[in-house]
Amino acid sequence: MVFERNIIVTGGAGFIGSHVVRRLVSRYPHYRIINLDLLTYAGNLENLADIESSDNYVFEKVDICDAKEVGRVFDQYDADSIIHLAAESHVDRSILDPLAFINTNVVGTANLLQCARMAWGENLEGKRFYHVSTDEVYGSLGDEGFFTEETSYDPKSPYSASKASSDHLVRAFGHTYGLPVVISNCSNNYGPHQFPEKLIPLFISNIVEKKPLPVYGKGENVRDWLYVEDHAEAIDLIFHEGKMGETYNIGGENEWSNIALIKVLCTQMDQKLGRSAGESNALITYVKDRAGHDFRYAIDCAKIKDALGWSPSMTFEEGLAKTIDWYLSNPEWIERVRTGAYQAYYEQQYTHR
């Protein structure tokens, strides 16, 4: 079968990547989606079990830092586009092991850019290098104001500095070599399939097990939360209609201090688990603050709304309820993540075929 487009999605076995892959595979049967992922601790192919036998889906277990293998994938599938999500993505891990973040996020992105250049040569018609990034590159806000696409970069954690570096490299390849690049910077995502090291899934699973809820500092830090499928929709739209060379900020227009969010989560969990009011709240435990903890992120997403007609569609109440319901209905997913059993899935599914 000849496909209209051959799109590499890096990090497609991760949280956001798996939602993007599912959306593209199901909406565009005339596109071939090549999921390129190393399957680090954060990559879980079980996230894609429902679409893995689709004719327009392939999986390649490849490290984005491996020039030879990435080059092979570009050539083998005649890839005309790349949507790049693969990254080390957790701030706390970046504080413990910053060099892993430089390697994957900076060196890996540079390698992908170079491989795209080599594969595409002068023939850039219809080509697209779409880099998925974070609002954390802009640094930290006080009580007022919003990040716009013009806000100067001021990253403060090894994670955000590595993502900022990768954004700069993408723009530099666009500017210097004319590579057709586009970037989006998004706020905090939540939803099904998020690895339970991030705030919402960690706290959901701790509440289920009646374990302490470790709130960093005073819990006053503010984040803007977006339901993951709304992000996947924005990525689809930017991929198809975004202007090359441009940057789009994506946000949920949904700011919460951590402690306010946690209290809502506790109330919803008590109701869903049939526990008495206040039971989960009692698990809240204030712990030492994260080093260099950014105070507030908030996105002005007027540009993507005006230029592409996107806006977040899920209310926080609805999104949080859907997220909780998913985790409560899939305890085996959490269990397999926790025990590492999910990592055997690849062997089982792919190596003996």
Note if 136 is an active site residue: yes
The DSSP secondary-structure symbol of 196 reads: T
For residues 38 and 102, which CB has a smaller minimum distance to ligand NAD in the complex?
Answer: 38
> How far apart, in whole angstroms, are the C-alpha atoms of residue 171 and residue 177?
10
| Per-residue binder mask for ligand NAD (CB under 6 A), 6-25, x = binder | ----xx-xxxxx--------
CB atoms within 10 A of CB 254: 21
In the complex, minimum distance from the CB of residue 146 to ligand TYD, in angstroms, rounded to a whole number: 16
Task: Decide whether 81 or 165 has the Cβ nearer to ligand TYD.
Answer: 165
Question: Measured from the CB atom, is 44 or 188 closer to ligand TYD?
Answer: 188
- Provide Rg for the chain, Cα atoms: 20
Q: Which of 37, 135, 167, 224 is catalytic?
A: 135
Residue 87 contact among ligand TYD, ligand NAD, none, beta carbon within 5 to 8 Å by kind:
ligand NAD
Relative to beta strand 181-186, strand 213-216 is unpaired
Query: Which lies closer to ligand TYD via its Cβ, residue 41 or residue 216?
Result: 216
Gap between the Cα atoms of 328 and 166, Å rounded: 36
If binding is defined by CB under 6 A, does position 223 make contact with ligand NAD?
no
CA angle 344, 346, 350 (to 5 degrees): 135
Catalytic-role residue among 136, 224, 229, 255: 136
Q: For residue 324, which amino acid is it?
A: I
Binds 215: which of ligand NAD, ligand TYD, none (CB < 5-8 Å by kind): ligand TYD
Residue 188 interacting with ligand NAD (CB under 6 A): yes
- Nearer residue to ligand NAD within complex by CB, 80 or 167: 167
Phi, psi (deg, nearest 5) at residue 179: -65, 135
Question: Where in 132-151 is the site for ligand NAD (CB under 6 A)?
Answer: 132, 134
Distance of CA 133 to the CA centre of its chain: 8
- Cβ-closest residue to ligand NAD? 14
Q: Is 167 helix (H, G, I), strand (E, B) or coil?
A: helix
Q: Tell me which of ligand NAD, ligand TYD, none is bound by residue 38, counting a contact when its beta carbon lies within the kind-specific cut-off of 5 to 8 angstroms.
A: ligand NAD
Instruction: Determine which one of 57, 77, 159, 248 is catalytic.
Output: 159
User: Which among 57-65, 284-292, 310-318, 328-336 is the span making contact with ligand NAD, rule CB under 6 A?
Assistant: 57-65
Considering the rule CB under 6 A, would residue 64 count as an interface residue with ligand NAD?
yes
Which secondary-structure segment (H or E) carries 34?
Answer: strand 31-37
Q: Could you give the CA distance from residue 236 to residue 12 in angstroms, rounded to a whole number?
A: 14
Where does residue 129 fall: left (phi above 0), alpha (psi -120 to 50 degrees), or beta otherwise? beta
Query: Rounded to the nearest whole angstrom, what is the least distance from the CB of residue 275 to ligand NAD in the complex?
Result: 28
Using CB under 6 A as the binding rule, the residues of this chain from 150 to 179 that contact ligand NAD are: 163
**342 is a catalytic site residue:** no
With H, G, I as helix, E, B as strand and everything else as coil, classify residue 36. strand
Give Cβ neighbours of residue 249 (< 8 Å, ≥ 6 apart): 135, 147, 148, 149, 184, 185, 186, 299, 300, 301, 303, 304
CA distance 18 to 44: 9
Q: Is 279 a catalytic residue?
A: no
Residues that bind ligand NAD (CB under 6 A): 10-11, 13-17, 37-40, 42-43, 63-65, 85-87, 89, 104, 108, 132, 134, 163, 186, 188-189, 195
What is the set of active-site residues? 135-136, 159
